């Protein structure tokens, strides 16, 4: 809501500055890409439909028309613009006109080039079906140098490698030192709802859990340069430190879901959530919604408790299925869910404070020795239940 209000104020201010801009005609709108994300120099961001399907770039070797379908990023400088293309080519030059126009939920908004820091076309197919809800990140993990510029994100890998298994490419994490780090341009902590989904394969599902560590932690989302010590985590573990085991997921200080009680299972295969082929490819998702998820049958509603002087809420109400705020799924089926815990005081702060976040793969509270392969990881800005696993 804060960002929406900010843009309502911003839109009329930038609109009066226009000298000339790309037209937004009916014919152009039909051919334009579905959406673009504009980041301004004051770090404001706005998503909308551009007025044209291509733009004119003036380069040292002449004028060229560049289709948005061939673009992954435009980065603006005081002297011009750098255009990154899908084939990895990079062009520099200046844009025709003086401003860029998009159609938003607030109407047409025009941005002078001098106010723009970057522009990112949103990848094709990134919208939820029949809605305006968008894909925030799509990491295929099919290359050691995968380019996430289209999502204004950056991937770094350490000691991990790409493999192909059963016609599916993915990134193998086969040692504690194998990691992937994605710098996110958004904070999942402040998102009222969201979905993180991916495919994973665990070639050694019968390996016994180690003491206290994730086996493995698929992901761990941490706030950068913050001292709260809280995390959003998802993975297999004997004991997640908050009373749960098996396949567990935590939005720390807010919700805690798991397929088993702590210490209730000794290996991934023991959880039975992967069926008869625990060493095969499976689709996982981590889904949350502050206002409550519509889950036909709540799998768990176990609050975990803390000293009262650290809580905002003191009562212990009975949870119902409509009060579930976190769900874990495997192959489209909810295997665990949880209602919100009684608020930790600092979680109210986390939900309303923007900060940079990092999406860490194979990094948890203790070194993991269980190998796994991850592919096709997506983060959506809306809760998707039931999640349908698509090959």
The DSSP secondary structure of 28-42, one letter per residue, reads HHHHS-S-EEEEETT
Mention every residue, 6+ apart, whose C-beta is less than 8 A from residue 389. Answer: 282, 283, 331, 332
The dihedral over CA atoms of 46, 49, 52, 53, expressed in degrees to the nearest 10, equals 110
Domain boundaries, the chain: 2-121, 135-380
Structure tokens at 343: 């608020």
Which pLDDT score is estimated for 214?
57
Which pLDDT score is estimated for 30?
38
Cα–Cα distance between 150 and 36 in angstroms, integer?
9
Cα–Cα distance between 70 and 124 in angstroms, integer?
11
Q: Tell me if 50 sits within 8 A of 68, measured CB to CB.
A: yes
DSSP codes of every residue in 184-220: ESS-GGG-SEEEEEEEEE-S-TTSBP-SSSEEEEEEE
**CA proximity to 344, closest of 385, 314, 320, 319:** 314
The dihedral sign for the CA sequence 75, 24, 4, 71: negative
Which pLDDT score is estimated for 300?
45
**CA proximity to 69, closest of 82, 56, 85:** 85
Strand pairing report for 231-237 and 161-165: unpaired
Structure tokens at 365: 């509270």
Which pLDDT score is estimated for 341?
77
Strand pairing report for 135-139 and 372-380: antiparallel
**Phi/psi class of residue 351: alpha, beta or left (left: φ > 0; alpha: ψ in -120 to 50)?**
alpha
Residue identified by tokens 């206290």 is 212
Q: Tell me if 238 sits within 8 A of 265, measured CB to CB.
A: yes
Domain formed by 135-380, architecture: Sandwich (2.60)
Which pLDDT score is estimated for 288?
94
Which pLDDT score is estimated for 279?
93
Question: pLDDT tens per residue, the chain (391 residues)?
Answer: 333 443 333 333 333 333 334 333 333 333 444 678 888 888 777 778 888 888 899 988 889 898 887 888 889 988 899 998 877 788 899 998 888 888 876 678 888 898 898 888 875 444 333 333 478 899 999 988 888 887 888 899 999 999 998 888 999 998 888 899 999 988 898 899 999 999 999 999 998 887 645 578 899 998 887 766 668 999 998 888 778 889 999 998 788 899 988 888 889 999 999 999 999 999 999 999 988 888 765 544 333 333 333 333 344 344 444 578 999 999 988 999 988 876 566 667 777 777 788 999 987 655 677 899 999 999 998 898 765 444 4
Cα–Cα distance between 53 and 33 in angstroms, integer?
6
The SS3 of residue 240 is coil
Q: Tell me if 379 sits within 8 A of 188, measured CB to CB.
A: yes
Q: Which long-range contacts (CB under 8 A, 24 or more apart) does 229-233 make?
A: 230/346, 230/347, 230/350, 232/188, 232/189, 232/286, 233/364
């Amino acid at each position: 809501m804060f960002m929406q209000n900010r843009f309502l104020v911003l839109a009329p201010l930038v609109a009066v500055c226009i000298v000339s801009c790309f037209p937004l005609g009916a014919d152009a709108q039909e051919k334009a890409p579905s959406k673009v994300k504009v980041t301004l120099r004051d770090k404001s961001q706005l998503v909308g439909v551009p007025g044209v399907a291509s733009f004119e770039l003036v380069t040292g070797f002449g004028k060229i028309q560049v289709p948005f379908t061939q673009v992954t990023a435009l980065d603006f400088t005081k002297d011009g613009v750098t255009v990154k293309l899908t084939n990895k080519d990079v062009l520099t030059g200046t844009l025709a006109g003086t401003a860029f126009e998009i159609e938003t939920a607030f109407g047409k908004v025009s941005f002078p080039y001098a106010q723009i820091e970057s522009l990112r076309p949103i990848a094709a197919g990134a919208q939820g079906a029949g809605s305006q809800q968008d894909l925030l990140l799509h990491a295929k993990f099919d290359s050691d140098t995968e380019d996430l510029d289209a999502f204004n994100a950056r991937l770094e890998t350490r000691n991990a490698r790409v493999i192909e298994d059963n016609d599916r490419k993915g990134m193998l994490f086969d040692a504690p030192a194998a990691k992937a780090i994605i710098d996110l341009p958004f904070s999942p902590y402040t998102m009222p709802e969201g979905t993180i989904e991916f495919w994973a394969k665990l070639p050694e599902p019968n390996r016994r859990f180690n003491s206290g560590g994730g086996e493995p932690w698929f992901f761990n989302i941490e706030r950068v340069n913050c001292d709260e010590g809280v995390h959003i985590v998802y993975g297999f573990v004997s004991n997640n430190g908050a009373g749960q085991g098996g396949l567990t997921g935590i939005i720390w200080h807010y919700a805690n879901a798991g397929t088993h009680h702590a210490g209730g299972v000794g290996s991934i295969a023991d959880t039975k959530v992967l069926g008869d082929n625990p060493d095969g490819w499976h689709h996982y998702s981590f889904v949350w919604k502050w206002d409550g998820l519509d889950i036909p049958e709540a799998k768990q509603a176990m609050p975990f408790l803390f000293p009262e002087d650290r809580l905002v809420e003191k009562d212990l109400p009975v949870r119902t299925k409509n009060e579930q705020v976190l769900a874990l799924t495997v192959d489209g089926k909810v295997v665990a869910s949880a209602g919100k815990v009684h608020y930790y005081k600092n979680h109210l702060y986390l939900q309303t404070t923007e900060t940079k976040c990092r999406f860490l793969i194979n990094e948890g509270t203790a070194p993991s020795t269980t190998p796994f392969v991850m592919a096709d990881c997506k983060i959506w800005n809306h809760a998707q239940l039931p999640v349908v696993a698509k090959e």
